[in-house]
Homo-oligomer: A and B are copies of this chain.
Amino acid sequence: MAKIISTSCIVCQNRSDIFNSLGPEELEAVNCQRISVHYNAGEVIFKQGTPCYYFVCITSGLVKLYLENENSHNIIIGLARPVDYIFMPGAYVNYRHQFTAVACEDTTACLIESDIWHDLIKTNPNFANDFIRKMSLQSIELIDKISSITQKQVFGRMADVLIYLSKNIYFQDSFTLTLSRQDLADFSGMTKESAIRAMKKFKEDQIISLKGNNIEILNPFLLETISKNG
């Protein structure tokens, strides 16, 4: 890891939207102390339980955020993509990471000290407002995840995951997965075997086409129906 790249935040094309409310001096202050890092696929960005000193802004790649458990399987509670940063509820509570972040693809990120972040929130109401909006969105995603996992069976849950991937990660009905089957399982709260069987059923029913990691949603309407009916 740790191949440092650099441009300025002010001209950065992959800058997180959260920084749009900052003025040039504020952006420069962020730029001055930011650390740009490259992670290879599979590398840990941070571990659940460790102290959190930095906000992680993803500039390229894909990151999975998951809850670890000694006895049981992991559960992916979210994915982070450019142009976004990883939400960090511990930054305002116990200064610990609530989950582990791992790069699914080769990923570049900028680390921003949480002190600066806190200062910006105190001094720039628009930044604070945007930050609250992002936290709210994250809360809603968590609520949606609870709803999906507790109120739906395997097909409904897998439908939710495929819809989420196409709408929020790949922005297309057709995409090449960089998540493993195990990841899909962890994301939909089931075992790898169940995930594979659910996908196989969708393929048989012509709802998706599936060749290795190439997925195309052929019948989004039916997938939506399966999601709704659980």
Contact = CB atoms under 8 A, between A and B. Distances in A.
Given A93-B137, A93-B140, A140-B98, A67 B146 contact: yes
A150 B67 CA distance: 10
B229 A146 contact: no
B67 A139 contact: no
Interface in A146-170: 146-147, 149-152
B121 A151 contact: no
A87 interface: yes
B147 A149 contact: no
> Looking at A71, A123, A133, which has the most chain B CB atoms within 10 Å of its CB?
A71
Interface in A109-134: 121-123, 125, 128-129, 131-133
A13 interface: no
B92 A133 contact: yes
A103 to B, nearest CB: 21
Interface of A: 67, 69, 71-73, 75, 77, 87, 89-93, 98-99, 121-123, 125, 128-129, 131-133, 135-140, 142-143, 145-147, 149-152, 189, 229-230
Given A91-B136, A92-B132, A99-B143, 5 more contacts: A125-B125, A132-B135, A145-B146, A146-B146, A146-B149
